[in-house]
Structure 1
Amino acid sequence: MSTQELFVATARKCLSVGKKRMSVAQSLDLAVQVSAVDLGLKPALLFDTNGASADQVQQYLSSLQASQLVSKSLVTLDLNGNTLIVNPVTARSNVKQMFVDGGVAVMDVCHSLEKPTLADPLRGELKSMKHGLLLLLSELEQLTEADKPHYVGEVSEGWNLCTVFGLLLGYPVTYWFDHTKSFGNCLPLTPLMVTTASVTLQEYAGAGHRCCLYSFSIPTALLKEMQSNLENWRLHLEKGFQQQHALKDLTVCQSTVTLPSVCL
C-alpha cells in the first residue's frame, strides 16, 4: 500500500461519523495538512473536516504515528471543544513571535472601531494569553506517544479563540476583539487582501489534487504596516518547503475581497 493509500485508509477508518466516511479528497487534504504540521511548515491544523470527536482525531493521529507516517511529537489538543493537531515546538516558536517586529502582529477589529488598527502590545489580555499559551505548549512538548487528547480547561476561558487560532495556525497576523463586550467586528465592507498558500502531495501531484495550507486576510489599509510580517512569513515558508520532499508545487496567491459581513 502506498503512502497516499495508507493516509486515505487511516482517515476513512478512524474518522467516520455514523455511516458517513471521509471522502478520498477530504482524506488527501488532511494528509497534506498533517504532513505540513509534522514538517514544521505550519504549527497546527484545526480539524473541521467533519464532526469527528477529539478522541477519533487522536486515534487517527496515533495510527499515523504507529505506521511511521508522521513523528510522535505531534499532539492532539482539545481547546474549548475545538480539536487541533499541534507541533508543539513549531507552535511555541510562532507564539514567541507575537508583537516582535516582522513577526506576528495582532490587529484590533473591535466592533466599536471605525476601522481596524494594530493592537496595543501592552494590553493585559493579550500578554496574559501569550504567557498562558507558551506554558501550555511547553507542557505539550513534554508529551510523548500520548494516547488521548490533551484537554485545555479553565486556563483558556479568558482567551480570544480567534487570536489563539491565528497564532496556532501560523498566520503572520491575527485578529483580536474584546469578546467580553461583543463578538462583532469592524470588518464588514472593509477591503481585505486574502493570502493563500497551496501545495500537492508528492505522490499525488500528477493528478493535480491541490490542498490549501494557509488562508488568511489583512485589511488593505494596514498592508503597508504589515508588509514585513507578510514577507518574513513567505520567506520562512519557502525556506521550510525547500528543505522537505513530501510536498511539492508551493503556490502563494493574493486577492482582494470586500464582504458584507465577516465572521471570525
Structure 2
Amino acid sequence: MIYADMSTQELFVAAARKSLSVGKKSLSAPQSLDLAAQVSAVDLGLKPALLYDSNSASSEQVQQYLSSLQSSQLVSKSLLTLDLNGNTLIVNPVTVGSNLEQVLHDSVVAMINVCHSLEKPTITDLLRGELKSMIQDLLHLLRRFEQLTEAEKPLYVGGKCEEWNLCTVFGLLLGYPVTYWFDQTKSFENCLSMTPLMVTTAAATWQADTTDHRCCLYSFSIPAVLLEETQSNLEHWGLGLKEKFKQQNVLKDLSVCQTTVTLPSVCL
C-alpha cells in the first residue's frame, strides 16, 4: 500500500518496489529514482516515450507501476503502456503523435541504412515509403490509445509489428533526430563495426523533495561520416528540447554533450 503522507520521492520508490519486482529482487532506490525521473520527463513531454529496461519486469508490471503513479497523482492519466513484441514502453501519446506527424510531413528525422552488406552507413530516401507506412500505422495505434480511459492493461501490438524494423520504430518513438534501418529479412547484423560514432547525451536534474537526481534523458549515436548531412536534424532536435525544457520547472540544469566512440561491434 502507498500512503498519502509519503514524500514524492518515497511514493515513486514504493511504487517501483511494489510493482516491478522480479522474483525476490526489487529495484534499488537509485534505480527507482532514475525511473521516476524518466517517467516524469515523458509526462512533461521532454521525451515522447521511455523504453523500459530497468529489469526484466513484464509489461503488465510496468502498467501496474504506471497506474500506481497515476492513482497517487504523480503523473497524468494520459500516459500509457505499449508492448511491442515483448518490449515495453511508457508513452506520452500527445507528444509521440505530434513528433510522428512532424516526421511525416517535414522529414526532420534522418533514416540511416546500416545494412551489413554496405561498406559504410548511408542516409537513404529510398525507404521513405516504408517509413511513411510505418508512421501511419503508429499514428493509427495512437488513435486507439486516445479511445482508452485509464487503461488497466498494456496495449499489445500484434502481428503488424513483426513486419517493422523495431530499431527504426524505437528511434521514432523515442524522439531521436536519426533512426537506423537494416534489412532484417537478410540479416540482423550491421556495418557499424569499427565505425566512429558520435554519441549525443542529454541529461538533467530531477528535483525530488530534498534530494536532486541526475538522469540521462536521451542517448543516441550518429556515424561520424554522416555528421555534416545530419547536422540540421541534430540542431532541430536540440532547439526543440531546449524550448520544451524552458516550459517546465520539474527538471533543471539541462546539458547536452557529445563524445566519439569506436566499437568492435554495435548491437541495435
Are 1:89 and 2:94 an aligned pair?
yes
Q: Is this contact kept in 2: 1:98–1:105, CA < 8 A?
A: no
Residue 237 (structure 1) aligns with: 241
Residue 227 (structure 1) aligns with: 231
The counterpart of 1:7, out of the listed 12, 25, 33, is: 12
Q: Is this contact kept in 2: 1:111–1:185, CA < 8 A?
A: yes
The counterpart of 1:167, out of the listed 167, 172, 178, is: 172
Residue 264 (structure 2) aligns with: 260
Please report how far the alpha carbon of residue 96 of structure 1 lies from its aligned counterpart in structure 2 after TM superposition. 2.3
Are 1:194 and 2:194 an aligned pair?
no
> Take 1:78 and 1:203, find their aligned partners in 2: how far apart are those partners?
29
Q: Is this contact kept in 2: 1:99–1:121, CA < 8 A?
A: no
Residue 246 (structure 1) aligns with: 250
> Take 1:124 and 1:173, find their aligned partners in 2: how far apart are those partners?
17
**Root-mean-square deviation over aligned CA pairs:** 1.5
> Take 1:242 and 1:85, find their aligned partners in 2: how far apart are those partners?
23
Give TM-score scaled by structure 1 length.
0.95
Q: 1:220 to 1:101 in 2, by over 3 A?
A: farther
> Take 2:49 and 2:146, find their aligned partners in 1: how far apart are those partners?
13
Aligned residues: 263
> Take 1:187 and 1:98, find their aligned partners in 2: how far apart are those partners?
25
Are 1:28 and 2:57 an aligned pair?
no
Give TM-score scaled by structure 2 length.
0.94
Percent identity of paired positions between Structure 1 and Structure 2: 74
Unaligned runs of 5+ in 1: none
Report 1:43-58 matches (<5 A): 43-58=48-63
**Residue 209 of structure 1: SS of its match in structure 2?**
strand
Please report how far the alpha carbon of residue 129 of structure 1 lies from its aligned counterpart in structure 2 after TM superposition. 1.4
Q: Is this contact kept in 1: 2:113–2:123, CA < 8 A?
A: yes
> Take 1:208 and 1:34, find their aligned partners in 2: how far apart are those partners?
15
Please report how far the alpha carbon of residue 222 of structure 1 lies from its aligned counterpart in structure 2 after TM superposition. 0.7
Report 1:113-152 matches (<5 A): 113-120=118-125, 122-152=127-157
> Take 1:99 and 1:263, find their aligned partners in 2: how far apart are those partners?
27
> Take 1:147 and 1:208, find their aligned partners in 2: how far apart are those partners?
31
Please report how far the alpha carbon of residue 124 of structure 1 lies from its aligned counterpart in structure 2 after TM superposition. 4.0
